[in-house]
């Protein structure tokens, strides 16, 4: 009888102890879903330029697939982005989509997610971590190649200025390498000379304006091409050219098909942009995220090297848009005819289709 009483007493103590400890353990665990939906944390660097559309399309596709998206925007602040990812993990997300401000710093966020068993989609920009589960991006090497080839075709001889993207963005480095590979034979022949080359911090148009103004001053306006890595930096270069009455006399490249760039192309101020369709990119990212959250593999056979490992890579090919094919943007439903040609006299616009 005494043994039975001792056993009952021990069991009672264990039960009381477990009840006391249970809440504390629960507080250290991520919150669980209450509605059964897959929860996607979308960590964004910025909502400038095309990124508003990325956000809207990610949310749209997630809703179509019955998933929930929580969005946080770091506004170009690395510490804020890391903190926001930690917040996502505390909220109990099932999968993380991250468009990093700084690909190296964001590797810390990926590590934190993987420690909690949360898969990671690197969106548009590569996080420099071999722990990401998939990269979903446009083919930026091809975009850089397209820009350089266009510049060479339209300005085969003379002085070039290279305005690269943010030094913290791996895409800018990829594009720079692709641009220089195309231009190098012409440099070796002495046909062209790069008289200035610089990265624009955070892809800033204001920074690009300063780079362009300095290059024009130092070369007495003797420039035949500005190879700008996106439309924001192209806008800065065009401001500098306007001040010197050089609009239409110097080739200017861009990327992203921003509405202001499309308007500049329609008016003859900017020569081209690289159009990166956002809808297929955003949709592919969400679809990959949902598959990963279900424990399935991404639907791709392609890979991209991320640090020391090849990771699955889903890519969307870009295309060159210039004045001659601006209507392709309208046909795709990317921007409206009236917005693109708003500053062009009615009798000089292409016919509506």
What integer is the mean pLDDT of 272-297? 96
Cα torsion angle, 332, 333, 337, 340, sign: negative
Instruction: Specify whether the CB–CB gap between 204 and 165 falls below 8 A.
Output: no
Per-residue pLDDT tens over the stretch 153-167? 999 999 999 999 999
Local structure of 139: helix, strand or coil: coil
Question: Could you give the CA distance from residue 343 to residue 349 in angstroms, rounded to a whole number?
Answer: 10
Residue 20 has pLDDT above 60, yes or no: no
pLDDT attached to residue 28:
34
Q: What is the dihedral of CA 145, 146, 151, 153, to 10 degrees?
A: 110
What is the pLDDT confidence band of residue 30, given thresholds at 50, 70 and 90? very low
Question: Could you give the CA distance from residue 300 to residue 315 in angstroms, rounded to a whole number?
Answer: 9
* Domains of the chain, earliest start first: 39-132+278-316 (3.40.50.2300), 140-276+319-348 (3.40.50.2300)
pLDDT attached to residue 22:
39
What is the pLDDT confidence band of residue 25, given thresholds at 50, 70 and 90? very low
DSSP class of residue 216 equals H
Residue 49 has pLDDT above 80, yes or no: no
Task: Find the DSSP H helices in the chain.
Answer: 2-27, 51-64, 78-91, 107-115, 140-154, 170-189, 205-218, 231-243, 259-267, 278-293, 327-331, 337-340
Per-residue pLDDT tens over the stretch 212-268? 999 999 999 999 999 999 999 999 999 999 999 999 999 999 999 999 999 999 999
Residue 43 has pLDDT above 80, yes or no: yes
Indicate the average pLDDT of the chain: 90
Per-residue pLDDT tens over the stretch 50-62? 899 999 999 999 9
What is the pLDDT confidence band of residue 17, given thresholds at 50, 70 and 90? very low
Which range, of 17-21, 274-278, 324-328, averages the lowest pLDDT? 17-21
The pairs formed by 117-121 with CB atoms below 8 angstroms and a separation of 24 or more are 118/89, 118/93, 118/94, 119/95, 119/289, 119/292, 119/293, 120/95, 120/96, 121/95, 121/96, 121/97, 121/285, 121/288, 121/289, 121/292
Instruction: Specify whether the CB–CB gap between 171 and 126 falls below 8 A.
Output: yes
Per-residue pLDDT tens over the stretch 139-154? 999 999 999 999 999 9
pLDDT attached to residue 11:
45
Pick the closest to residue 50 from 128, 124, 144 (CA basis).
Answer: 124
What is the pLDDT confidence band of residue 35, given thresholds at 50, 70 and 90? low
pLDDT more than 90, % of the chain? 84
Rounded to 10 deg, the angle between the 278-293 and 51-64 helix axes is 50
Residue 204 has pLDDT above 80, yes or no: yes
| Cα angle, residue 84 at apex, residues 83 and 87 outer, rounded to 5° | 90
Structure tokens, 308: 């020391």
pLDDT attached to residue 188:
98
- Which are the contacts of 183, defined by CB distance < 8 A and separation ≥ 6? 148, 151, 152, 160, 192, 194, 227
Structure tokens, 113: 């997610």
Per-residue pLDDT tens over the stretch 108-125? 999 999 999 999 999 999
Question: Could you give the CA distance from residue 38 to residue 41 in angstroms, rounded to a whole number?
Answer: 10
Cα 202 to Cα 102, 170, 206, 238, 298: the distances in Å are: 10, 12, 10, 18, 30
Cα 350 to Cα 264, 266, 324: the distances in Å are: 15, 10, 10
Residue with tokens 């903190």: 83
Per the model's pLDDT, the better-predicted residue between 79 and 29 turns out to be 79
Cα 117 to Cα 90, 114, 312: the distances in Å are: 13, 5, 18
Per-residue pLDDT tens over the stretch 289-338? 999 999 999 999 899 888 889 999 999 999 999 999 999 999 988 899 99
**Cα 333 to the chain's mean position, in Å?**
21
pLDDT attached to residue 228:
98
pLDDT attached to residue 325:
95
Question: Could you give the CA distance from residue 181 to residue 145 in angstroms, rounded to a whole number?
Answer: 8
């Amino acid at each position: 009888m005494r043994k039975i009483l001792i056993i009952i007493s021990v069991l009672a103590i264990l039960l009381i102890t477990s009840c006391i400890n249970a809440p504390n353990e629960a507080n250290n665990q991520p919150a669980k879903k209450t509605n059964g939906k897959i929860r996607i944390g979308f960590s964004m660097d910025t909502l400038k330029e095309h990124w508003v559309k990325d956000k809207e399309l990610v949310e749209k596709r997630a809703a179509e697939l019955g998933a929930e998206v929580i969005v946080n925007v770091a506004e170009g602040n690395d510490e804020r982005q890391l903190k926001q990812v930690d917040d996502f993990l505390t909220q109990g997300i099932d999968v993380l989509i991250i468009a990093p401000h700084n690909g190296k710093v964001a590797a810390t966020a990926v590590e934190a997610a993987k420690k909690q068993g949360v898969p990671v989609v690197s969106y548009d920009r590569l996080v420099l971590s071999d722990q990401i589960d998939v990269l979903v991006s446009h083919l930026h090497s091809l975009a850089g190649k397209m820009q350089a080839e266009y510049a060479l075709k339209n300005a085969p001889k003379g002085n070039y200025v290279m305005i690269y993207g943010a030094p913290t963005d791996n895409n800018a480095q990829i594009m720079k390498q692709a641009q220089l590979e195309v231009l190098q034979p012409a440099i070796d022949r002495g046909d062209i000379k790069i008289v200035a080359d610089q990265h624009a911090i955070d892809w800033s148009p204001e920074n690009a304006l300063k780079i362009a103004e300095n290059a024009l001053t130092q070369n007495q306006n003797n420039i035949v091409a500005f190879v700008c890595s996106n439309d924001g930096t192209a806008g800065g270069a065009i401001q500098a050219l306007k001040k010197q009455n050089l609009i239409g006399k110097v080739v200017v490249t861009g990327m992203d098909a921003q509405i202001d760039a499309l308007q500049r192309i329609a008016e003859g101020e900017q020569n081209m942009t690289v159009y990166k369709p956002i809808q297929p990119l955003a949709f592919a990212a969400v679809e990959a995220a949902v598959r990963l959250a279900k424990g399935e593999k991404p639907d791709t056979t392609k890979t991209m090297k991320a640090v020391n490992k090849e990771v699955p890579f889903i890519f969307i090919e870009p295309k060159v848009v210039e004045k001659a094919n601006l209507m392709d943007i309208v046909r795709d439903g990317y921007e409206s005819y009236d917005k693109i040609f708003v500053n062009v006299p009615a009798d000089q616009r292409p016919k509506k289709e």
